[in-house]
A and B are shown apart, each in its own frame.
Chain A
Amino acid sequence: MGPAALRSAFASAGDAWPRTHRPLPWLFAGFLASLFLLPIDAIHPKVSLPFSPDLDRFFVALIVGVWIVGGVLGGKTVVTRLRSRGWAAGMIAFLILAVTSIAVNFDRITNLGEWDVAQKRLAVLFGLAAMFAIVSLTLRVRELRAFSVLIVVLATLTALGTIYEKETGYNAFYSTATKAFAPVADVDPSPTEIDPDQNRGRPTITGPTRHGLSVTSILSMALPFAIVLAAIAPTVRRRLLWGAAACIIVTGALVTQRKSGAVIPAFVLLALFALRPRELLRLAPYGVVAVALAFAIAPGVFSSVQEFGRADSRASTAGRTSDYPAIVPDLLSNPLFGRGYGTLDSARSDTYRILDNEYLGQVYQVGVLGLIAFLALIVTPLFLVRSVLRSDNPLRGPPALAAGAGCLAFGVACALYDILSFPQAPYLFLFLAAICVCASSVEAPVEEPVELDAPPSATARAQLATS
């Protein structure tokens, strides 16, 4: 390939979302918007299908379909992306162990009538894996900043809607979805419950999700993007803008009055400070002013911190700790592969417990091997971006740092509730993991056929990190 062809290749590679005609990035943007703004697991299209017809399944099917059609009809590739070796290892290992856990327990699963539930959860897991793979293969480095901005904008809207829900009891996400989807889908009623009598327990503030913890998780996973964008903003005006967005997102997480609303953002902030102390310290004065203003204007915002001492909160903690001894018989009877992925059906309360810890849930369902694979799934993106986390390359460093911190937030949230029971946070996590994969990849014009498994070399990584 000569210099002219190379230039042509680069020009073509400049085609990046949102200035692109490629359909997949637009579908990703639409999917992200639906995660943050629609109660996707409460919208049931009026069609009869062999699988649970929730909105996210249709989105995933559409994305997979467009990707396959693009693969068949697409022209010659001008840019190739060399991803780090093992970028999908965690996901593949977890998928294999999930299926293995079902296969080895299949007699018992069918005997106990758990196959239907397991089948549905497995289908969701395959959907998640497909999303992760397609986003990782499709996203371009030049698109990462634009998607970072999109995540912050969407999270800010979600936080504003959640704050409004707390103040008025009106869930704009469910109400809008009910009206918009009325002709084609049924929408479950909003789970919002706000009792004016504060002593009657915690209110149920859920935003676009089914549970307050779920909305807290997605806001916390989006928070590092707002902070990182504020940290790298070239002007004070922009810094204030992104800082305000970060404050709104934190407020949105706190108003759910869940302990996780304080714990997960705190971990995110700690991780960011640990990784880029100099840049983040520049934001400290803004943070102090924001906290002081919040105390002055709306001290109720920090009610989730007061939650630590409430009686129902203590009961929740006691419920979590009682899970540990209760699942010992199951762990001992199936230590390696667990009882089978997706068999923990919390609707059968006479048999199973709601485990407020995803790690516990995974070791219960897929055994010790499955738990290791699940941990690998969470840690792999962090491992991949370690070389670009501190990079000053504006296309790679900031998105990698934010996505890495977002993945860490997911890892923390997994210890606080059964996160895979709600679709938003897992989808967002895998999108962030795909951003990590993309940020750590190397893009090059295609001169000659390149091996699929060719990783970026150590030299390339070093140059990438210092570029």
Chain B
Amino acid sequence: MEPARTLKILWRRRRLVALGAAVALLAALLSIYRLGLFPPSLESRSNVFASASSQILVDAPNSAFADTSFDLDELDTRASVFARFLASPAAVALIAKEAGIPFEAIEARGPFELNLPEVQQAPTAEERSSQILGEGALYRLRFENNPGLPIVSVFAQAPEPEEAATLAAAAPAALHDYIERIQVEQQTPLQRQVVVRQLGSSRGGTVNQGANLQIATLVFAVVLGTWCMLLIPARTIARGWRGGGPGDGQPRSNGSAGGRANGRRRAPEALRADGRQQRIG
């Protein structure tokens, strides 16, 4: 059986296999740690993230929540406008200040037109360019709004669960303060004011707990597997390089008459065997 023969060959070269395991271990470590040379350092990569969410209700001073006489259409429209505003740099700056996170570390996106055909939702080159620029941000915000509801959903992502919860809570707070400030400045009458309420408190949790172990295991297995696969032809190449190569007919210490040479000598015989098989069949 070929797998058994492969294992035998690898066992004969177990020192090289062990060296391969060491190389694979190093590669696995590098996949989860960042190596610094000047000065020497080993810094963990940010492969584990937490997420949290919150919801913003766009309401009237006398809450429309429990009053059927209210027409929600205006609030729906307002919620849609707020969702778009929240993804703008001006709003992100307010959210960053509220959460105590650097503005440039936050990327905000949304809301997306979920009711459009996929072809129209797909981003153009220009949209992708700006998306790519924000992909490196450690803190991420995503806003969603159903056009039929006066609610904006906030999804936050951060390296730690507490940070994610803080970020998710900062968006409603920042929007509330901003709207209130405008209303004060414009002296908006109470009955025409919009009230921003956060529905419940935000909670965060780690999403991809085992990601580091998974990628490290994968890298280790692939590097070691590749190393082992390379060992087998390497042996033939090394033999050919030493000059005792194919067709020299010299006996081998391990009993095999040399792979390539053996293959060449035996091939016509194999063909005859194949022909005989046909006749037998």
Which residues in A have some Cβ–Cβ distance to B below 8 Å?
Answer: 6, 10-11, 13-14, 16, 68, 70-71, 74, 77, 82, 85, 92, 95-96, 99, 102-103, 106-108, 110-113, 115-116, 119, 122, 137, 141-142, 319, 325-330, 333, 346, 349-354, 395, 442-445, 447-457, 459-460, 463-464, 467
Bound complex: CA A448 to CA B207 (Å): 56
Contacts of A449 in B (CB 8 A): 5, 254-256
Contacts of B1 in A (CB 8 A): 70-71, 74, 77
Bound complex: CA A444 to CA B129 (Å): 58
Whole-angstrom distance between the Cβ of A217 and the nearest chain B Cβ: 22
B123 touches A442 (CB 8 A): no
Taking A353-B123, A453-B232 as given, write out 7 further A-B residue pairs in contact, using a Cβ cutoff of 8 Å, ordered by the A residue number: A71-B3, A71-B4, A328-B125, A395-B278, A455-B263, A456-B263, A460-B268
A452 touches B277 (CB 8 A): no
Residue of chain B at shortest CB distance from A457: B264
> Of the candidates A92, A119, A445, A464, which one forms a contact with B214 in the assembled complex, judged by CB atoms under 8 Å apart?
A119
B215 touches A106 (CB 8 A): yes
Bound complex: CA A349 to CA B257 (Å): 60
> Of the candidates B5, B118, B255, which one forms a contact with A448 in the assembled complex, judged by CB atoms under 8 Å apart?
B255
Which residues in B have some Cβ–Cβ distance to A below 8 Å?
Answer: 1-6, 9, 31, 45-49, 109, 112, 118-119, 121-125, 128-129, 131-132, 135-138, 140, 157, 207-208, 211, 214-215, 218-219, 222, 226, 229, 232-233, 235-236, 254-260, 262-264, 266-271, 273-278, 280-281
B136 touches A92 (CB 8 A): no
7 pairs across A/B with beta carbons < 8 Å?
A68-B3, A82-B267, A103-B215, A107-B45, A111-B140, A326-B123, A326-B125
What 6 A-B pairs come out closest when comparing CB atoms? A451-B259, A460-B267, A444-B270, A454-B263, A457-B264, A454-B259
> Of the candidates B5, B214, B255, which one forms a contact with A452 in the assembled complex, judged by CB atoms under 8 Å apart?
B5
Bound complex: CA A409 to CA B191 (Å): 69
B222 touches A99 (CB 8 A): yes
B48 touches A110 (CB 8 A): yes
Contacts of A6 in B (CB 8 A): 273
Residue of chain A at shortest CB distance from B117: A349
Whole-angstrom distance between the Cβ of A383 and the nearest chain B Cβ: 17
Residue of chain B at shortest CB distance from A141: B274
Contacts of A113 in B (CB 8 A): 49, 157, 207-208
Contacts of A354 in B (CB 8 A): 118, 122
A351 touches B123 (CB 8 A): yes
Bound complex: CA A408 to CA B138 (Å): 45
Residue of chain B at shortest CB distance from A461: B267
> Of the candidates B140, B229, B236, which one forms a contact with A451 in the assembled complex, judged by CB atoms under 8 Å apart?
B236
Known: A107-B47, A352-B122. A329 touches B132 (CB 8 A): yes
Contacts of A457 in B (CB 8 A): 263-264, 267
> Of the candidates B2, B235, B271, B281, which one forms a contact with A137 in the assembled complex, judged by CB atoms under 8 Å apart?
B2
> Of the candidates B233, B254, B280, which one forms a contact with A10 in the assembled complex, judged by CB atoms under 8 Å apart?
B280
Residue of chain A at shortest CB distance from B118: A349
> Of the candidates B46, B214, B255, which one forms a contact with A111 in the assembled complex, judged by CB atoms under 8 Å apart?
B46
Contacts of A319 in B (CB 8 A): 119
Bound complex: CA A13 to CA B280 (Å): 10
Whole-angstrom distance between the Cβ of B110 and the nearest chain A Cβ: 8
B266 touches A16 (CB 8 A): no
> Of the candidates A99, A447, A452, A463, which one forms a contact with B6 in the assembled complex, judged by CB atoms under 8 Å apart?
A452
B219 touches A451 (CB 8 A): no
Bound complex: CA A459 to CA B128 (Å): 55
Whole-angstrom distance between the Cβ of B36 and the nearest chain A Cβ: 15
Contacts of B271 in A (CB 8 A): 442, 460, 463-464, 467
Residue of chain B at shortest CB distance from A316: B119
Bound complex: CA A70 to CA B2 (Å): 11
Of B2, B118, B264, B270, the most chain A CB neighbours within 10 A belong to B270
B255 touches A110 (CB 8 A): no
> Of the candidates B123, B258, B266, which one forms a contact with A350 in the assembled complex, judged by CB atoms under 8 Å apart?
B123
Whole-angstrom distance between the Cβ of A140 and the nearest chain B Cβ: 9
> Of the candidates A74, A106, A122, A333, which one forms a contact with B47 in the assembled complex, judged by CB atoms under 8 Å apart?
A106
Contacts of B256 in A (CB 8 A): 448-451
Contacts of B45 in A (CB 8 A): 106-107
B270 touches A99 (CB 8 A): no
B135 touches A112 (CB 8 A): yes
A110 touches B118 (CB 8 A): no
Contacts of A142 in B (CB 8 A): 277-278, 281
Bound complex: CA A457 to CA B266 (Å): 9
Whole-angstrom distance between the Cβ of B264 and the nearest chain A Cβ: 4
Of A110, A142, A443, the most chain B CB neighbours within 10 A belong to A110
Whole-angstrom distance between the Cβ of A56 and the nearest chain B Cβ: 21
> Of the candidates A77, A326, A464, which one forms a contact with B128 in the assembled complex, judged by CB atoms under 8 Å apart?
A326
A115 touches B208 (CB 8 A): yes
Known: A108-B135, A448-B255, A457-B267. A442 touches B274 (CB 8 A): yes
Contacts of A112 in B (CB 8 A): 135
A451 touches B260 (CB 8 A): yes
Contacts of A68 in B (CB 8 A): 3
Known: A10-B276, A326-B128. A451 touches B263 (CB 8 A): yes
B132 touches A333 (CB 8 A): yes
Whole-angstrom distance between the Cβ of A83 and the nearest chain B Cβ: 10
Contacts of B232 in A (CB 8 A): 452-453
Bound complex: CA A253 to CA B139 (Å): 49
Of A16, A122, A449, the most chain B CB neighbours within 10 A belong to A449
> Of the candidates A11, A82, A330, which one forms a contact with B270 in the assembled complex, judged by CB atoms under 8 Å apart?
A82
Bound complex: CA A326 to CA B121 (Å): 12
Contacts of A325 in B (CB 8 A): 125
Whole-angstrom distance between the Cβ of A152 and the nearest chain B Cβ: 21
Whole-angstrom distance between the Cβ of A8 and the nearest chain B Cβ: 11
Contacts of A122 in B (CB 8 A): 218
A455 touches B273 (CB 8 A): no
Contacts of A13 in B (CB 8 A): 277
